[in-house]
Amino acid sequence: MTTAHTILVVDDEPSICWALEKMLTSEGHEVITGSSAEEGLRLAAQNDVSMVILDVRLPKEDGISALPKFLEATDNAPIIIITAFGDLETAVAAVKNGATDYLTKPFKLEDALRTCRTALQKSAHRTAPAATQPMDIDPSVLVGTSPAMQQVFRQIALVADSDLSVLITGETGTGKELVAAAIHRHSRRADGPYIPIAPVALNPDLIESELFGHVKGAFTGASDDRAGLFERAEGGTVLLDEIGDLPLGTQVKLLRVLEQGQYCRVGDVKPRTANVRILAATNSDLHEDVATNAFREDLFHRLTGVQIHLPPLRDRVEDIGPLCRHFLAAMKYADIESAVDDELLEQLHSRPWHGNIRELKNAVGHAAVVSRGRKLTIDDFPEPKPGRDAPTTSPVLAMEKSIRVWSENAIEANPDSVTLHSDYLAATEPTLLRTVMKHTGGNRAKAAEMLGIHRGTLRDRMKAYGIDDQ
């Protein structure tokens, strides 16, 4: 059975108060309601309140600025903020000012109930809230009015102030890097460095030295001690972009940083403490990489503790209008309001946007130049980008990755191996031979010609691998 609590609901919309009251009384709680911050504070002073549900939009003083007063009046009871205007700014402001959680109108009652139950559990272990700070937010950075983006803003707000590592997922161009930057900007580390790194862009032979630094003489060319990116990000945040591309050996070291907060420079045995928050982003399916042993399962679980997923733009078309206006404003386009009409928006909504917001941004830039300040039409926009069916990774790159993963696993399994090359051929050659034989309808002579090897060699290899002519 749940313990009965007194819950204060402060909202100037009677229907919201009524719905919450009904929901919470059916859980056995007592509900008192106020329609302004002033009335709510009076009620909070007169009652032993276990939780407050506070609307942001109130007639005189708004919910965000009244929040610290409610915390004081209720001896730091959990406070759930409700707003119809849920943007990142409001979400972060609410959490920074001490709110426990955040609900965006219209909300489902079952979601509200879940949020209330969690908050009430916290009520049992009240602690003083973190010191509040004035906010320094550029509200134009992350644009989005869709429910999906509201959820993303809420997640950013809830995780920003902690030191948790976060995995940000989503197709290319959905704004993963922007979300990572927003988490850093709204975190306690905001004054520290923010370093985004794409491992794929680093020299594969030097990747560990790039990340963790090295000591003099660690390898040929290491003429001096050198700090790595983790050291340079001291006190700040590192974004590991496309984390799936991290070599397996480096994944082990990253896990150590995540679990023990420690790493060593290459060639050094002295562990160093990493005072760095790690964010990671990927547009590939890490589950698949785990299944093929390209990504360590332990690291995967460590990283997926907190995950923020950015849906593709085609699943949140409501954001297209605000994004278009945002990009036009950034270009100082004349008369933004009439530049994008409903007819154009409808046409833009039906595009697939495989390149997501990056494609939209480029397309709007293109259209703005072509239209020279007049109202935009669909003809001003470039052709849509090819679909997702067109592979984003070339088969050669995919093969390179598979070979790299296979080699790293084989070396890890048997560091003293002396048969790597023949093991590799045995793993790959049968597929090649079978494919060519199938193509030639089982004609060995033709197959040998295509392969550029002698018929006898082909025969021997097929025999060795147990491949028959069919």
The residue with its CB nearest to ligand ATP is 175
Angle (CA) 17 21 26, round 5°: 160
Determine the Cα–Cα distance for residues 140 and 462; give it in Å rounded to an integer: 63
Helices (H), 47-84: 63-73
Tabulate helix, strand, coil % of the chain (nearest 5).
50, 10, 40
Specify the residue, 300 or 353, whose C-beta has the smaller distance to ligand ATP: 353
Q: How far is the CB of 110 from ligand ATP (least distance, A)?
A: 28
Specify the residue, 63 or 144, whose C-beta has the smaller distance to ligand ATP: 144
Which of helix, strand or coil describes residue 165? Answer: coil
Q: How far is the CB of 355 from ligand ATP (least distance, A)?
A: 8
Q: How far is the CB of 465 from ligand ATP (least distance, A)?
A: 40
CB 244 within 8 A of CB 281: no
Length of the chain: 470
Specify the residue, 367 or 451, whose C-beta has the smaller distance to ligand ATP: 367
DSSP-assigned states of every residue in 272-322: EE---EEEEEESS-HHHHHHTTSS-HHHHHHHTTSEEEE--GGG-GGGHHH
Specify the residue, 148 or 425, whose C-beta has the smaller distance to ligand ATP: 148
Specify the residue, 240 or 323, whose C-beta has the smaller distance to ligand ATP: 323
Specify the residue, 178 or 222, whose C-beta has the smaller distance to ligand ATP: 178
Output the CA–CA distances (angstroms, integers) from residue 447 to 38, 385, 439, in the order listed: 86, 39, 8
Q: How far is the CB of 196 from ligand ATP (least distance, A)?
A: 9
CB 165 within 8 A of CB 110: no
What is the DSSP secondary structure assignment for residue 192, as one 8-state letter? S
Determine the Cα–Cα distance for residues 394 and 287; give it in Å rounded to an integer: 20
Q: How far is the CB of 215 from ligand ATP (least distance, A)?
A: 33
What is the DSSP secondary structure assignment for residue 442, as one 8-state letter? T
Q: How far is the CB of 350 from ligand ATP (least distance, A)?
A: 20
Specify the residue, 29 or 316, whose C-beta has the smaller distance to ligand ATP: 316
Phi, psi dihedrals of residue 77, rounded to the nearest 5°: -65, 150
Q: How far is the CB of 329 from ligand ATP (least distance, A)?
A: 11
Residue with tokens 């397309």: 363
Q: How far is the CB of 286 from ligand ATP (least distance, A)?
A: 14
Specify the residue, 41 or 339, whose C-beta has the smaller distance to ligand ATP: 339
Q: Could you list the residues that contact ligand ATP (CB under 6 A)?
A: 142-144, 170, 172-178, 241, 281, 283, 323, 326, 357-358, 361
Q: What pairing do the DSSP bridges indicate for beta strands 237-241 and 262-263?
A: unpaired
